[in-house]
Chains A and B, each alone.
Chain A
Amino acid sequence: MLRGPRDGKPLRPSAPPADVAPVTTVTDGLDSTVPTTAPTALTVDLRGVDRWFADVPALKDLDLAVPEGAITVLLGPNGAGKTTAIRMITGALAPDAGTVRTFGLDPIAHGEEVRRRCGVVSAKPALYDRLSGKGNLEYAAELYGLGPHADDRIHAAADRFGIVDALDQKVGGYSTGMKTRLALARSVLHDPELLLYDEPTSGLDPESSHAVLELIREMTSEGRTVVMCTHLLVEAEGLADRIIVLDGGTDLLAGSQEELTRRYWPPNLVHLGAEDPAQLRPVAGWDGVMGIDTEVPNRPGVVQVQLDDPGRIPELVARLVAEGVRVTRVEPHEPTLEDLYFAVRRDHRERQLAAERQGLAPVRPPTPLDPLAVEEAS
Chain B
Amino acid sequence: MSAAVRPAPPAGTRARRERRAGSLNRSRMMTVTRTELRQLYESKDFWVPMTILGGFFFAVVPFILLLAISSIGNVGAIQQVSDALKLLPQTAQDAVPQDVGPSTQVSYVLAVYLFAPIAVVVPLTISTAVGASSIVGERERGTGEFLAHSPADVREIYLGKLVASLVPGYITTIVGFGIYSLIVNVIVGAKVGGWFFPTASWWLLILWVLPPFMAIALSLVLRLSARVKSTAAAQQAAGLVTFPLIIIAYSQSTGALLGSGAPLIAFVIGLVAWLIAAVLLSTGFRSLTRGRLLGVADER
Contacts and interface: CB of A to CB of B under 8 A. Distances in A.
Interface residues of B, number: 43
Interface of B: 1-6, 8-9, 14, 17-18, 20-22, 27-28, 31-32, 35, 38-39, 42-43, 141-146, 148-153, 290-291, 293-294, 296-298, 300
A118 B149 contact: yes
A128 B148 CA distance: 14
A308 B297 CA distance: 54
A79 interface: no
Interface stretch (A17-25, A49-57, A295-303, A317-325): A49-57
A360 B1 CA distance: 12
A226 to B, nearest CB: 15
A366 B1 contact: yes
B9 A52 contact: yes
Given A54-B297, A126-B144, 17 more contacts: A61-B5, A90-B148, A91-B18, A92-B148, A92-B149, A92-B290, A92-B293, A111-B21, A112-B21, A125-B142, A128-B141, A128-B143, A135-B35, A361-B2, A361-B4, A363-B3, A364-B1
A122 B8 contact: no
* Residue of A56, A109, A143, A376 ringed by the most chain B CB atoms within 10 A: A143
A108 interface: yes
A372 B3 CA distance: 10
Interface string A27-66: 0000000000000000000000010111111001100000
3 closest A-B pairs by beta carbon, nearest first, are A61-B3, A124-B142, A142-B31
A93 B153 contact: no
A355 B1 CA distance: 12
Contacts of B144: 126
B5 A60 contact: yes
B143 A52 contact: no
A140 interface: yes
Contacts, number: 137
A163 interface: no
Q: How large is the interface on A (under 10, 10 to 19, 20 to 34, 35 or more residues)?
A: 35 or more
A122 B297 CA distance: 18
A217 interface: no
B151 A144 contact: yes
Contact of B148 (A87, A109, A125): A87
Interface in A277-319: none
Interface string A181-196: 0000010000000001
Contact of A128 (B18, B27, B28, B35): B35
Contact of A143 (B31, B141, B290): B31
A93 B294 contact: yes
B2 A360 contact: yes
Nearest to B150: A143
A94 B14 contact: yes
Contact of A362 (B3, B42, B153): B3
Nearest to B35: A139
A126 B143 contact: yes
A372 B143 contact: no
A90 B149 contact: yes
